[in-house]
Chains A and B, each alone.
Chain A
Amino acid sequence: MVETITGSRLEKVLKSGHQAVTSECGPPRSADASHIIKKGHLIKDHVDAINVTDNQTSVTRLCSLAACVHLKLQGLDPVLQMVVRDRNRIALQSDILGAASFGIQNVLCLSGDHQRFGDHPQAQNVFDLDSMQLVQTVRHMRDEGKFLSGDEIKQPPSMFVGAAANPFGDPFKIRVPRLAKKVACGAEFIQTQCIYNLDKFEKWMEGVRERSLHEKVYILAGITPLRSVGMARYLQKNVPGMDVPDELIERMKGVEKSKQADEGITIAVETIQRLKECKGVAGFHVMAIEWEEKVPEIVERSGLYPRPQID
């Protein structure tokens, strides 16, 4: 039995030395939870934990917390994504307690996209804390058993605390220091931005290893399969902080339209296979946006199936 702090399945898998696999589900833009439950069941045997996005791209959806509860009630291990864009420290801490009360044991602390991109560009934003301060907040609540105010929490939340890293954002020179800062704040696992530029990612990992950060935090490499050359171009041009090399676009272009999706899956599988050998990569975060049915195939073809049986 490995020793864990939280009882999270993800924590157990990582601490017992397996390469972990996580995936994510976006909640619906309605009050109907059946959709997310269905998505959860599609992938549950192939992943260790499932992230639930929090109003991703600033578009209003069924809340991450409620969606996590639905997955939890199905016996799955959800990762509650929390953005600091929409809630102040009172609401954030209260949602963490709420999640913990349902036995949710993972949280991913994010800043969130600016609301300009979403369905309510006129909205006020909050940004009371930033993502690093949210990491500190959850660790403080869990480890000290206290609110930020200093008041005691009788039953502290038991959460495995994660953060995101984008090795491709600018300025590149602070990308490793930025990870170091998140580790210093108490991040226990990291899920990265989707990786298309492998050379750049490996260069970042080199910097991570030089500072032994991979020994202090579990790094899950972000994988998003391309569905078409159009999607590749869109990501390259329109998504800030995304690095899609031209070679990849050429490769997708060289394949006839009906086969591009398969090519995208193959690229994802090759990426995972290459990164399995990259020292310090502790697992994979497979984000198949609105394409969850392909996750099992990617996981199987990458040799990451079956998932380890824990407890």
Chain B
Amino acid sequence: MIVGQQKPFEEIWQMVKDHRQLTVFGCNTCVAVCHQGGNKEAGILASQLRMRATQEDLAREIVDSGVERQCEHEFFERTDELIRGSEAVLSLACGIGVQFMAERYPKIPVYPALNTTFLGDVPEVGLFREKCQACGDCVLGVTGGVCPVSRCAKRLLNGPCGGSTNGKCEISKETECAWQLVVDRLEALGRLGDYEKVMPIKDWSKDRAGGPRAFRLEDF
């Protein structure tokens, strides 16, 4: 899923403080799982903003709302009117939701309340880890199901580099060395010999290097 983190409150306030009316708008799927962007967080953020406005003696009308997913048209029916009537929207979706709204409501300024951080999993409650960078040409089949593109700090395809120490990455003792994980996993699968297969030079044109990607289902 997509993981995001709320921007510092001060940064959010500076972005939106000049609008007399504001709708704080949650997205209740991915970024709700990480308790940063759901409809509940939208409610909390709206009241923080109202408090701040009162402290600064500014007359502001701040409402909160949200949808299940800010990246698809069908979820907007109920809230369409509210948004069309807003002077500005503060979106708690990931960068995709913010852009989708900006495109859907061309005349209404939409501001991001989150920093979209990565595509990750939830190995335990309250912990999120990056797992994929959507490189467009997945190599998990040859790396024992551990992604070196997103999890190795140098995205080495034939690693590990010389900096791997006690299973940790050279960049920090808190970061697992992806290649230690690859090797352990290959060994557990009885496939350590596969490590010696040289991974070919990657075609990054399927990644961001190829420009914005799109794909269309033909039958729809």
Q: Are B196 and A136 in touch, CB under 8 angstroms? A: no
Q: Mark B145-177, 1 if CB is under 8 A from A, else 0.
A: 000000001111111111111111011100001
Segment of A9-17, A178-186, A226-234 in the binding face: A178-186
Given A130-B154, A241-B170, is A170 in contact with B198 using a C-beta cutoff of 8 Å? no
Decide yes or no whether B184 CB sits under 8 A from chain A.
yes
| Chain A, residue nearest B186 (CB) | A174
Residues of A within 8 A of B160 (CB): 169-171, 174, 178
Given known A-B contacts A170-B177, A177-B196, A181-B198, A130 and B156 have beta carbons under 8 A apart: yes
Given that A132-B198, A171-B183, A180-B196 are contacting pairs, would A127 and B165 also be in contact in the complex, using a CB cutoff of 8 Å? no
Q: Residues of A contacting B171 with CB < 8 Å?
A: 114, 116
Please give me the residue from chain B that is nearest to A132 by CB atom: B158
Asked if A214 lies at the interface with its beta carbon under 8 angstroms from chain B, I say no
Q: Contacts A111-B154, A127-B154 hold; do A169 and B164 have CB atoms under 8 A apart?
A: yes
Check B166–A170 contact: CB distance below 8 A: yes
Whole-angstrom distance from the CB of B12 to the nearest CB of chain A? 23
A266: Cβ under 8 A from any B Cβ: no
Closest chain A residue to B187, Cβ basis: A173
If A114-B153, A136-B201, A184-B198 touch, whether A171 touches B163 (CB-CB below 8 Å) is no
A220 to B163, CA, bound (A): 19
Residue numbers in A under 8 Å from B166 (CB-CB):
170
A129 proximal to B (CB < 8 A):
yes
* Docked-complex contact B157 and A133, CB < 8 angstroms: yes
Assuming A89-B201, A129-B201, A170-B177, is B158 touching A241 (CB within 8 A)? no
CB distance from A73 to the nearest CB of B (A): 32
Q: Does B105 interact with chain A (Cβ within 8 Å)? A: no
Query: For residue B193, which residue of chain A has the nearest CB?
Result: A177
In chain A, residues 180-194, which have Cβ atoms closer than 8 Å to a Cβ of chain B? 180-181, 184-185, 193
B34 smallest CB distance to A (angstroms):
25
Q: Which residues of A contact B158 (CB under 8 A)?
A: 130-133, 181
CB distance from B128 to the nearest CB of A (A): 21
Q: Are B156 and A111 in contact (CB under 8 A)?
A: yes
Inter-chain contact B201/A170, CB cutoff 8 Å = no
Report the bound CA distance from A24 to B203 in whole Å: 34
Residues of B within 8 A of A180 (CB): 196
Contacts of A128 in B (CB 8 A): 202, 204
| Inter-chain contacts of B161 with A (CB < 8 A) | 111, 131, 169, 241
B contact residues around A114 at 8 Å (CB):
153-154, 163, 170-171
The smallest C-beta distance from B156 to any residue of chain A, in angstroms, reads 4
* A60, B158: Cα distance in complex, Å: 26
A94 at the interface (CB under 8 A from B): no
Q: Mark A64-81, 1 if CB is under 8 A from B, else 0.
A: 000000000000000000
Q: Which residue of A lies closest to B149 (CB)?
A: A127
How far does the alpha carbon of A185 sit from the alpha carbon of B172 in the complex, in Å? 29
Q: Which of A117-150 contact B (CB under 8 A)?
A: 125, 127-133, 136-137, 148
| Contact assessment for B159 and A240 in the assembled complex, using a CB-CB cutoff below 8 Å | no
Q: A130 to B154, alpha carbons, bound, how many Å?
A: 8
A80-94, CB < 8 A from B: 85, 89
User: How long is the Cα–Cα vector from A113 to B169 in the complex, in angstroms?
Assistant: 11
Q: Is the C-beta of B195 less than 8 angstroms from some C-beta in chain A? A: yes
Of the listed residues A85, A133, A148, the one surrounded by the most CB atoms of chain B closer than 10 A to its CB is A133
Residues of A within 8 A of B202 (CB): 128
> Is B70's beta carbon under 8 Å from chain A?
no
Chain A positions within 8 Å of B, measured between CB atoms, are 85, 89, 111-114, 116, 125, 127-133, 136-137, 148, 164-166, 168-171, 173-174, 177-178, 180-181, 184-185, 193, 240-241
**10 closest A-B pairs (Cβ-Cβ)?**
A166-B162, A240-B170, A240-B163, A241-B162, A169-B162, A132-B158, A130-B156, A241-B163, A170-B164, A240-B165
- Other CB < 8 Å A-B pairs besides A111-B161, A114-B171, A130-B156, 15 of them? A131-B158, A132-B198, A133-B158, A169-B163, A169-B164, A170-B166, A171-B184, A173-B192, A174-B192, A177-B192, A178-B160, A180-B196, A181-B195, A240-B163, A241-B170
